[in-house]
Chain A
Amino acid sequence: MSVKEIYSELLDEKYYSINHKSGLKILVYPKEEYSSCYAIFGTKYGSIDTRFRLEGENQITEVPEGIAHFLEHKLFESEELDAFERYAKTGASANAYTSFDRTCYLFSCSANFIPSLEILLDFVQSPYFTKETVEKEQGIIGQEIRMYDDVPDWKVLFNMLKGMYHNHPVKIDIAGTQESIAEITDKLLYKCYNTFYNLHNMVLCIAGNVTLNEVLEAADRLIKPAKDQKVIREFADEPDSVVTSEIEEKMSVASPVFCFGYKETVEAEEVSLKKRIETEILLDMLIGDSSELFQELLSEGLVNMSFSSEYFTGGGYASIIFSGESSDPRAIKARLEEKIKDIRRNGIDKNCFERSRKLLYGRSIMSYNNVETISNALVSAHFLGNELFDELNIYRSLTSEDIRRRLDDAFDENRSVLSVILPE
């Protein structure tokens, strides 16, 4: 086991990075002056992991869409008390989420930290699935899927992703479909569990009023050593092109909801942190709150405060996405593309770059106020192969030249998709 201390001079704060003898990475960010603690036990396993094999295996396993999310629900159960019933005895507030590329189990508390941590470590390491419990869950998740069917923001995003991706599983709804979850069995759940819930594929991140020693003591006691195995994710080839450039659907909405994006090619498994930050700065300069373009669109009545932009990226997929509500989404897209041409022609305004950099740097420091944000950032940094504080350092070292280069390979008009939900 090794323990490394990682210190930020800027924040005057530190965290510990532990390679636990079980194979698990543990990250502990103490905040002595806080009352609360936030812990996440996460695995690099999300809705996109539908085809995989273990290193050394030849056969690819293919599983139904939505199974990672299904597994998350089921893991809370055991033969005796389910996890929620156990947390009810400590007072912790517990939850879990599944995203495209990770599943995280978490709790927050201001008392009884160790008993809650014991529950977290125990139930995530103790799968219990039977035919009966799987059937029951199909009903509950079926209802969750129906609920999301009515959420325009969700629909408009997945419609866009379906228009953008031919094969990549990022286009499938995280919860799957009524049909796909009907194919899930207890055996398949065990297969996925044994593949992805291996400690070498997981991380435990804790921020708040906690000491390194108490976490290590609990980990030594409760974490079962795991065989060192590597998961190979098998994504089908994804063409550079998009499937279609426009998609519309009608729903019960008062005003049109839109989402449009520009597909990008991902060279490595993941887009680098530097490129992610460059993109954030570029987006803020282009159409952030203080940009000229956003203010113009606002005063012309084309956008409202729901407008947002995002660099949407994970294992094998990346796109720049704009979304919101507008009476004329096409006009926004046209204006944005006009502006991009303008910047390509005239170059990057240095003042504008400095402002965006300062703004995002300040916001980044502020994010260290919050133990939930820190824990989640620790998980993200680990799965990306970075240290947590790398982000702050990159903000300090970037130049406008970096942003110019980033602009060169962004916003390919031939690979854009516009998705709109219209009132019925």
Chain B
Amino acid sequence: MNNKIKVYDIGSGITGNAICTERFKSSLITVTFAVPLEKDSASANALVPYLLSRNCAKYPLMTQLNERLAELYGASIQGSVEKLGDIQLLRLCITFLNDRFALNGESISHECAHLLCDMIFNPVLENGDFTSENVEREKRLLIETLDSEFNEKRIYALKRLEEIMFKEEPYGTGRVGTKESAASVTSSQVGLAWKNILKTAPVLINVVGEIDASNVFNVFKEQFQKIDRSKIISVSSNVKSFVSEEQRVEERMDVAQSKLVMGLRTCEEDVSDKAHIIAVMTDLFGGGPYSRLFMNVREKLSLCYYCSARFIRQKGAMIIQSGVETKNIQATENEILNQLNIVKNGEFTENELTSSKLALSDTLGTVNDSLFSIDAWYYRQFCNSEIISPEEYADKINSVTSEQIVKAAEKVQLDTVYVLVGDAQNNESEGGAE
């Protein structure tokens, strides 16, 4: 039940992935632009996909666009921004019902491909720039998104760790920049960013579902051919393979639960051929409920409510997140490092390794059952030299040995500890109507 991927060369720096499958009721098209993540341009770039997703010259009012999407049986267009290592991905996605469900025999997919193309190439412009009304709205929405990330302390603490640990690297910049950088962007900067992206950014178009992909690619090809794409920028992520100096930052806030976030470096010169080994090692250490962190830090010692580790492949980094009571911060930190040492010393069982491999390959087996996970699987490999399928990756995962894990774990070094210390341990808030 594997999906076959067909790769197309659509133009200079433009790749098309077609994953044709009839198992879904709907299909999707995504267009991903890759640009270097930089402090100075992050906010202006980030505004582009959001702006493009709200309206276009043909449907200048958001109500008009949304009416059109509703007529297309609830098709939806989404703009999004992600960081993939030191790269900023600017994405537009349209999902729509397959033609066979149309009540009046219309071709929803054809309409949707043209619509998405229109959104990207023919936005609402005034003297060549985005209108200030549209730009100001998106700036506000971006700033409010950052506000809501602050409200969610789990996300906020992770962001703080990334800022501190990667302050000398592009990855230390937030995916959409900061509130300050978002507030200072001008309409002409966003307009320029849009034009630059169309001209110079590597592009990936994914088409997933029951749809004639070559038709879709032709629609986009026609538009891209009108643009001079002779100078395509190269984008890549750098891995820092050593720890300069261990850092520790504590901040206090009036919250009930403290957050402990630890950033480590895997200290590999070249992560790409060892990524699957580090992925298994991270999972065995702090992935599922069978992992060292879950079984010991949470279950056995009840030190925290959650405690897990994640591998950031593009940066060769491992990040541990945990929610703890203030009095347990130090004990939790010690125990996390103790568990890491156990992995380094190879004092884990073959069963633990088998559990990790089983769980990881089982999850890989579900990728092909969702449009969104298929799309994600391939766009996240956008900047990799070699593209592999979930099945091929599962084979690599299953080949990992204890020796390889120990070897990889031995190199792991703590880089940064960030603690959000909760002050509100004893003052129960008095909200509510009781």
Contact = CB atoms under 8 A, between A and B. Distances in A.
Interface of A: 10-11, 31, 33-36, 84-85, 87-94, 108-112, 136, 139-140, 143-144, 146-147, 149-152, 155, 158-159, 162-163, 208-209, 243-244, 247-255, 257, 289-292, 295, 298-299, 301, 304-306, 325, 355-356, 358-363, 365-366, 368-371, 421, 424
Interface stretch (B158-166, B197-205, B361-369, B404-412): B361-369
A369 B370 contact: yes
A365 B304 CA distance: 41
A306 B432 contact: no
Given A88-B290, A255-B144, 17 more contacts: A34-B1, A36-B365, A88-B289, A90-B358, A110-B362, A112-B362, A143-B302, A147-B257, A149-B257, A149-B429, A158-B432, A249-B430, A249-B432, A252-B151, A291-B63, A362-B72, A363-B74
B432 A247 contact: yes
A110 B63 CA distance: 42
Interface residues of B, number: 72
Contact of A159 (B66, B150, B431): B431
Interface string B92-126: 00010100010000000000000000000000000
18 contacts: A11-B25, A31-B23, A33-B1, A33-B22, A87-B289, A110-B369, A112-B362, A146-B305, A152-B151, A248-B431, A250-B429, A252-B153, A290-B63, A299-B133, A356-B70, A359-B69, A359-B74, A363-B74
B74 A366 contact: yes
A261 to B, nearest CB: 13
Given A301-B140, A356-B70, A365-B25, A35 B366 contact: yes
A362 B151 contact: no
A252 B254 contact: yes
B152 interface: yes
B359 A358 contact: no
B182 interface: no
Contacts of B146: 254
A263 B284 CA distance: 48
Residue of B71, B289, B366, B433 ringed by the most chain A CB atoms within 10 A: B433
B256 A371 contact: no
Contacts, number: 209
B368 A35 contact: yes
Interface of B: 1, 22-26, 61-63, 66-67, 69-75, 95, 97, 101, 133, 137, 140-141, 144-148, 150-153, 253-257, 288-290, 298, 302, 304-306, 323-325, 351, 354-355, 358-359, 361-366, 368-371, 422, 429-434
A35 B432 contact: no
A392 to B, nearest CB: 11
Nearest to B75: A362
Contacts of B67: 290, 355
A255 B302 contact: no
Nearest to A13: B25
Contacts of A162: 432-434
A325 B152 CA distance: 13
Contacts of A36: 365-366, 369
A91 B431 contact: no
B325 A143 contact: yes
A289 B66 contact: yes
Contact of A253 (B23, B101, B150): B150
B23 A34 contact: yes
